[in-house]
Structure 1
């Protein structure tokens, strides 16, 4: 009985393994789980390090009593004496240390984009999903220093880059294709974001849509969702499932209030232009010339000093600022203070990230957008309390609308806020404000490496060629014949006679066991056939190259890869993927080119017909 059970278990496991190898969806689910586990553990370690170091530097040493959101107060330390002057010291040292390691180990990351999310976007579009392992490691560790010492930056960008790096690394170890590597890159980024923000669906959707301005990566949804859910589960296993912000369950009920949410979109759009404009000015006009003169390390040291001075004079501008956002949601921040915090955070973030220090733009964007919305909510409530009874809801809507506008991501941030607000009570104002912000912010963008659509992505430009050839099989393109075959011992005289009586350009060579073992390229033998003294000395085994062949079921893209690898103009077609299988004919390289040209013509005709319609 136990033996029968073991046999059934072994059989079941074998079937599962086979389904994972051959089933597309099952395979991606497995990849998503693997990436999510690694990204979730990385997010846990990242979160603990930032929380402990932040409590040590800002609370214990500098004596600052910064507010903490309900879901993130992990460590409590006895506050030391009030020494705000230590903050610029900490941030300057963090900038110098960060600059040293980036200059030494990852200098290319300085110009890779706005933050870790943008660097991941660059890797997706232009690097085939490849990320050097040291880059996310250096950037991740340096972002811990930046945020914990008070630099105005968020955790979502770095953890997205770390998760994307994990996905890329695993894809290389699994020997996946470039397309699959890009998908695992996004799955890793989704896992990191879903875990650190505790919003699994919002994290997954943001990762697949933020790489485009007007599109999203549909193929990545399955592994991204699986990775995000897995990473979220790992994270909440250690830290609980409480949301970051203690937000009441707001409900939208009065249609007249949509007028105020439209005004919120206008205010958030104005704040977005100011936020992006200040950041670009600091990055290109202030720090870029300094970096050319002094180098990366001293530029980051200067950025840390300026950001630290801003934070010492105005503490709400320090670090991520989720505690202040929660206070604004709960109505504990005066209107004028909200305005001051928007301006202070904009400047501090521009100095921190604009100089090249590590950190994300996601949290500062939520801060500026949320508090901009909070200003509208407070004023609307003060003058029309019956129409706008819940000013805190404007903070949540402002967060989503602002980020949607500057990141061109309409769905992910909206879903994140719904997850934060414990329901879809604010769905209508969220949709209205986000749509208006996207329309009003057409001329600004947070991320440098976004492209408009898939048609503008270099990654998918290559995929277009692949897709055209993957649609056709060798079956309909090869020449059915009985091609000449040489034996390994066939002499150069036999080869010369065959060349005179055959138009073959690549001749298969059969070994003593009756199986094909190589290909002889006619061009390689052509220079020898006039040397009769070699006719009995040189044999096919001396001239042949490794064996390449195709089968009728293979697609033409696979055949094209084999033509490129072999350098041959013809490949033998075998009935089965076995060197001893029946030889059916030959596939000419020209047939593959003709198939591609025909596919391009069909696509163009379809486009012209679509335009005509």
Structure 2
């Protein structure tokens, strides 16, 4: 970020113009905390939407790329780390409308990139979003109270650290990093004040969730600072699944399927199609009713129902348990993340056996 005494951002010297200006910085801290939470929430929701979308894996990055291309065509500032745009705001050479729009477009573009399978981080986007937020807020404050406030570049500078503090929950780190990137120590009081406020707002809204931990939490993984680690939270479901599964093929007749279910006696059977891809599940009770009602010449494909609980092999047992909820049939079908090929099945007994090891 800074090489020797060379700053990543060249900014004019900023000072606290008036003691009452701390009230304005308080407002920035509150906004930065909310925007930080919005950034985390946006990333979480976008990843969830792409994960559950019934689309081929290869199509998801295409959709993401086309969407980003459309945004960038009208607002190319959303691309890349955006240091040039941030520098322009810090030096007060930007338009208010552009700054305001970039807050939300950058949040959306970052979430879309990471969720669609693109490569990137969240550090630089957090700084970018914070600079735009601080710039827009400072513009309004300076327009209304010019005698009591610094230029909007000062608020952009503080906003960079504040949003990063809110998203990462690393307040002291945010303050130090901003010093390293700007080599500007003249605005330390409002900087520390705003970062602490933003951090506390984020804690109040999202508790211990950060932009770095949200994906781990979705997978049910424990963190190093947990007082106690639940074995269910750190064990991949592939470690407890039964891969020797009796399956029904969608092309089987009901009579053939009935023979299998009578022989095995399970409550639910995965149904597969070509190349072992999961088609759904078949329940013996429904199979028996169908044979009694319509005869045994029908096909299994006619009785296939969507699997109520599906997991991927790298997800944890705790993640699967959360999906079970009030589901009356708590069998978890494990499929490959990319081609939905059936890999195994996990029963409540398997999960209970794992849980008993911990005690």
Offset from partner CA, 1:528-554 (integer Å, 9 cap, x none): xxxxxxxxxxxxxxxxxxxxxxxxxxx
Two-structure CA RMSD over aligned residues (Å): 2.3
2:243 equivalent to 1:454: no
2:22 equivalent to 1:251: no
- 2:190 alignment partner in structure 1: 429
Residue 363 of structure 1 and its aligned partner are, at CA, apart by 0.9
Match of 1:377 among 133, 138, 143: 138
**Higher helix residue share:** 1
Residue 313 of structure 1 and its aligned partner are, at CA, apart by 2.3
2:264 equivalent to 1:264: no
- Taking the aligned partners of 1:457 and 1:399, their CA distance within structure 2 comes to 35
Match of 1:280 among 40, 44, 48: 44
Q: How many residues align?
A: 220
- Taking the aligned partners of 2:224 and 2:24, their CA distance within structure 1 comes to 32
Assess if the C-alpha contact under 8 Å between 1:264 and 1:373 holds in 2.
yes
SS at match of 1:254: coil
* Structure with more contact order per residue of length (Cα contacts < 8 Å, sep ≥ 6): 2
Offset from partner CA, 1:541-592 (integer Å, 9 cap, x none): xxxxxxxxxxxxxxxxxxxxxxxxxxxxxxxxxxxxxxxxxxxxxxxxxxxx
- Taking the aligned partners of 1:360 and 1:415, their CA distance within structure 2 comes to 19
- Taking the aligned partners of 1:345 and 1:357, their CA distance within structure 2 comes to 15
- Taking the aligned partners of 1:352 and 1:242, their CA distance within structure 2 comes to 31
- Closer, same or farther: CA 386–457 of 1 in aligned 2, 3 Å: farther
> Which is greater in Rg?
1
- Taking the aligned partners of 1:256 and 1:421, their CA distance within structure 2 comes to 25
Match of 2:67 among 306, 313, 316: 306
TM-score (norm 1): 0.34
SS at match of 2:16: coil
Residue 293 of structure 1 and its aligned partner are, at CA, apart by 4.1
Residues 3-22 of structure 1 aligned to structure 2 (within 5 Å): none
2:148 equivalent to 1:387: yes
- Taking the aligned partners of 2:201 and 2:28, their CA distance within structure 1 comes to 12
- Taking the aligned partners of 2:126 and 2:90, their CA distance within structure 1 comes to 16
- 2:6 alignment partner in structure 1: 242
Assess if the C-alpha contact under 8 Å between 1:418 and 1:426 holds in 2.
no
Offset from partner CA, 1:191-250 (integer Å, 9 cap, x none): xxxxxx22xxxxxxxxxxxxxxxxxxxxxxxxxxxxxxxxxxxxx4xxx75322111232
Match of 1:365 among 126, 135, 150: 126
Match of 2:178 among 400, 417, 424: 417
Residue 439 of structure 1 and its aligned partner are, at CA, apart by 1.0
- Taking the aligned partners of 2:170 and 2:228, their CA distance within structure 1 comes to 17
Residue 255 of structure 1 and its aligned partner are, at CA, apart by 1.7
Offset from partner CA, 1:162-219 (integer Å, 9 cap, x none): xxxxxxxxxxxxxxxxxxxxxxxxxxxxxxxxxxx22xxxxxxxxxxxxxxxxxxxxx
- 1:28 alignment partner in structure 2: none
Residue 326 of structure 1 and its aligned partner are, at CA, apart by 0.7
SS at match of 1:331: coil
Assess if the C-alpha contact under 8 Å between 1:247 and 1:420 holds in 2.
no
Residue 354 of structure 1 and its aligned partner are, at CA, apart by 1.8
- Taking the aligned partners of 1:453 and 1:255, their CA distance within structure 2 comes to 41
Assess if the C-alpha contact under 8 Å between 2:33 and 2:198 holds in 1.
yes
SS at match of 2:171: coil
SS at match of 2:61: helix
Residue 311 of structure 1 and its aligned partner are, at CA, apart by 1.0
Residue 289 of structure 1 and its aligned partner are, at CA, apart by 2.3
TM-score (norm 2): 0.57
- 1:323 alignment partner in structure 2: 84
Offset from partner CA, 1:54-101 (integer Å, 9 cap, x none): xxxxxxxxxxxxxxxxxxxxxxxxxxxxxxxxxxxxxxxxxxxxxxxx
- Closer, same or farther: CA 419–241 of 1 in aligned 2, 3 Å: same
SS at match of 1:392: helix
Assess if the C-alpha contact under 8 Å between 2:14 and 2:150 holds in 1.
no
Assess if the C-alpha contact under 8 Å between 1:307 and 1:349 holds in 2.
no
